[in-house]
């Protein structure tokens, strides 16, 4: 075998790759083949490419091709193999985010309801009721009190009391000689969503959000 003569002009991998696919014109192919016959380095690189290509062609053989046909409704017949959807749909992501938002909103509302509800409950208790009536008559500042708040107080009372116990600093309990102004802004004007309504709505939202969140999770896993 002759030693390499024109080492300067080795064949590029791109040229060898095209030679491999037989896509060179006659003149170029003759030139390449002449070089391959002379140059051990390029011949070795070319032989390696042929080995790679032959092996890749064998990778076309795959056993057990699954059936990807659709059913009459245009849906896949197969079940997904990977339980976690690798790419959840935008609608799914949005629904999940929305349910989380509702859940958080509900919990926040519950929290607010518990705080304000506890505050107003302390006010309606014996000693503070009188104290409060000094600043503003209950009949005026609590227009909704008799209609929606007070009658139902019996049921959520324990929960509200718990909240009041847990957050004593947030709800200043009015004591005898203390000024009313310290807690006046907190509860007397109890705006339309009364603490009870807030509590109910918060409960509803939190529950709804939770159910939606869990429901979406399950649905995504099953598809």
Partner 1 sequence: MTPTQPPASPNDESALQAVIARARSGDVEAFNVLVERFQRAAFVVALRMLGDRDLAEDVTQDAVLSAFRHIKQFRGGSFRVWLLRIVTNQCLDYWRAQQRRPSVSLDVLLAPATEETGGEAARNDAALIDPAWDPTMLAERHELQAFIERALLALPEDQRLAVVLCDVEGLSYDEIAEVTRTNVGTVKSRLARGRARLRDLLLRHPELLPRAYRHDSRGDQPRVPRKPE
Binding site for partner 1 (CB under 8 A): 1, 12-14, 16-18, 20-23, 36, 40-41, 43-60, 62, 65-76, 78, 80-82, 86-87
Q: How far is the CB of 39 from Zn ion (least distance, A)?
A: 3
Which of positions 149-188 make contact with Zn ion (CB under 5 A)? none
Q: How far is the CB of 14 from Zn ion (least distance, A)?
A: 14
Among 15, 16, 42, 205, binds Zn ion (CB under 5 A): 42
Q: Are 110 and 203 in contact (CB under 8 A)?
A: yes
When asked if residue 16 is in the footprint of Zn ion (CB under 5 A), the reply is no
Tell me how far apart the alpha carbons of residues 221 and 223 are, in angstroms, rounded to a whole number: 6
Q: Which is nearer to partner 1, 17 or 161 (CB)?
A: 17
Tell me how far apart the alpha carbons of residues 90 and 78 are, in angstroms, rounded to a whole number: 23
**Interface with Zn ion by CB under 5 A: which range of 2-10, 89-97, 152-160, 197-205?**
2-10
């Amino acid at each position: 075998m002759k030693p390499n003569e024109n080492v300067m002009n080795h064949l590029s991998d791109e040229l060898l790759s095209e030679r491999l696919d037989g896509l060179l014109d006659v003149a170029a192919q003759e030139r390449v083949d002449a070089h391959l016959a002379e140059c051990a380095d390029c011949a070795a690189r070319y032989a390696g490419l042929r080995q790679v290509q032959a092996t890749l062609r064998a990778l076309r053989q795959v056993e057990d091709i699954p059936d990807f046909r659709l059913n009459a409704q245009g849906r896949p017949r197969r079940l997904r193999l990977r339980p976690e959807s690798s790419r959840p749909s935008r609608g799914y992501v949005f629904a999940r985010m929305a349910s989380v938002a509702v859940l958080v909103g509900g919990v926040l509302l519950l929290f607010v309801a518990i705080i304000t509800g506890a505050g107003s409950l302390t006010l309606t208790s014996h000693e503070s009721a009188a104290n409060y009536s000094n600043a503003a008559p209950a009949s005026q500042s609590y227009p909704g009190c008799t209609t929606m708040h007070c009658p139902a107080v019996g049921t959520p009372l324990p929960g509200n009391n718990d909240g009041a116990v847990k957050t004593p600093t947030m709800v200043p309990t009015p004591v005898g000689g203390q000024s009313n102004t310290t807690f006046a802004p907190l509860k007397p004007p109890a705006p339309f969503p009364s603490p009870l309504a807030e509590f109910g709505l918060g409960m509803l939202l939190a529950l709804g959000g939770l159910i939606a969140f869990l429901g979406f999770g399950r649905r995504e896993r099953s598809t």
